[in-house]
Amino acid sequence: MWPEKKSDSFFASLAFKKIPSLAGIFIVALASLAIIFLVKKNTPPPFDIEVVSIEKPLQEADQEDLAEEEEEMYVYPPVPISMKKIKTQGCVADGILSSYGKDTDNSVDMINRSNCIYLHRALETWADAPNFEKASRIMERIQKPGLVYGMFIAEAIKINKNYPNDKDEDGNFDFRKMCRQGSENAWGEHTCKPELSSKEYRKYLTYITRRAMDLGIQSFLFGQIYYQDYEGPKKDRMKKVLEEMRAYAKEKKMQIIIGAQTGTIIDENYLRLFDYIEGGVGMGDDGFVEEGPCWSHLESCWALLWHDRYASRANNVLLHFDWSGLMFDDMSVFARMEKHKRTEVLKRLHEYFTSKNMGFLLPMMATINKDNDGCRGPKKRFYSASNEYTCQDEGTINAILSSQ
């Protein structure tokens, strides 16, 4: 028990002592005067009080702060997924939720005018972590019910950046711990190839895929999976990652699909882990694609995934004009064509691949070579189908999509 103060003992004794009434009144009055004197002595004079200048009433400020605290990110309501619609009415909108192309206003307007029902790679993570706050703000402006949004999980990360992990007491993710040994600077300075053998990378995947699902994103594409999961079926790490993603989607009562860029992998058990495999068409300057399993333009086998060698072992195949920023990639070749040629190629390839029950995703936004000298979007190194720029392919694309 804490010791009593002397003042406490004095006043307590008064309560129990028997004293004459007049004397008691005198003592109580004297004590009251003493208390008043002490209070006044310890109270600072009026001019010592600090006056705070404010521009608006406190009540108004408090209400505004409260509104900011209560504001939540926009969440897009997930929709039922139809693989048939994704194959026939899917579009590549690379990085629209990441502000790729530097004209987000125009990109949003273009998608709002479009007949796309699937936006492939809408949220990008190439050598960077996803910005879900930005993605939420852009999704809120896209007024197209029934859309399926896609997210790209890149085979490139940047090791010199921090990314907050609000689910862990340790704070930020450590990207250096995610790198495959010997892959430093693989995609440019301060980059590396992440690998599933890293516990930190698996934690990161769980975090970003769950946050994406919380936002309403339903399609997830792993880039060049043979880099991210080079041990493959030996360790079953990919299987566990996919099981965890699907379990979280089930918990949220939403459908998701998961794909991968699988290259030359032909292990059917592994390919069927994914809902779809994805790749480019390997188009030549004449606008035609080859028949073999590998694109002859490169010495190593750049797999043509519609070939029976791969397609027969997979659940679904999604194809598009591939881009790598090089002059001879699909998108750069396409952007150099005359408009009438681009129209003919889009119609022919879409009809050809969809007739084989494969998806051909039409290009709305994608990267091209900066010295390509063909049509382009808001930047020299970025293609846009928008009528606001030089390609003006959105009319052709919408006509193809509306016929499905």
**What are the extents of the domains in the chain?**
83-402
Query: Residue 344 above 60 pLDDT?
Result: yes
Q: Beta strand pairing status for 90-93 and 362-367?
A: parallel
Question: How much is the pTM?
Answer: 0.82
Tell me phi and psi for residue 263, to 5 degrees.
55, -130
Nearest to 381 by CA among 367, 395, 363, 396: 367
- The pLDDT, as a whole number, for residue 71 is 60
For residues 381 and 325, give the distance between their C-alpha atoms in angstroms, rounded to a whole number: 8
What's the confidence (pLDDT) of residue 383? 97
The stretches of 252-315 forming alpha helices (DSSP H) are 268-271, 308-311
Instruction: Return the pLDDT at 162.
Output: 86
CATH class of residue range 83-402: alpha beta
Are 310 and 301 in contact by the 8 Å Cβ rule? The answer is no
Pick from 279, 278, 194: nearest CA to 241: 194
Q: Which residue from 161, 237, 234 is spatially nearest to 198, judged by alpha carbons?
A: 237
Q: How far apart are CA 282 and CA 319, in angstroms?
A: 10
Tens digits of residue pLDDT in 142-180: 999 999 999 999 999 999 988 988 877 668 999 999 999
Can you tell me the distance from the alpha carbon of 222 to that of 332, in angstroms, rounded to the nearest whole number?
A: 23
* Residue 277: φ, ψ to 5°: -110, 155
Q: For 124-144, what is the mean pLDDT? A: 96
DSSP string covering 77-121 = PP----HHHHHHHEEEETTGGGTTTS-HHHHHHHHHHS--SEEEE
Task: Judge whether 148 and 79 are in contact, CB under 8 Å.
Answer: yes
Whole-number pLDDT of residue 285 = 95
What's the confidence (pLDDT) of residue 15?
36
- Return the pLDDT at 169: 66
Q: What are the pLDDT digits (tens) for 64-107?
A: 433 434 468 999 999 999 999 999 999 999 999 999 998 999 99
- Cα radius of gyration rounded to whole Å, the chain: 32
Report the pLDDT averaged over residues 205-231.
Answer: 97
Give the bridge partners for 260, in sequence order. Answer: 222, 277
Could you report the per-residue pLDDT of 345-375, keeping only the tens digit for each? 999 999 999 999 999 999 999 999 999 999 9
For the chain, give the number of residues: 404
pLDDT tier for residue 186 given thresholds of 50, 70 and 90: very high
- Distance (Å, whole) CA 193 – CA 184: 7
Average of per-residue pLDDT values in the chain: 86
How many other CB atoms sit within 10 Å of the CB of residue 380?
13
Per-residue pLDDT of 104-121, as tens digits, reads 999 999 999 999 999 999
Q: Which residue has the higher pLDDT, 18 or 258?
A: 258
**Lowest-confidence segment of 15-29, 236-250, 372-386 by average pLDDT:** 15-29
The tokens describing 58, both together, are 């406190």
Reduce the DSSP state of residue 163 to 3 states and report it: strand
Residue 167 pLDDT:
75
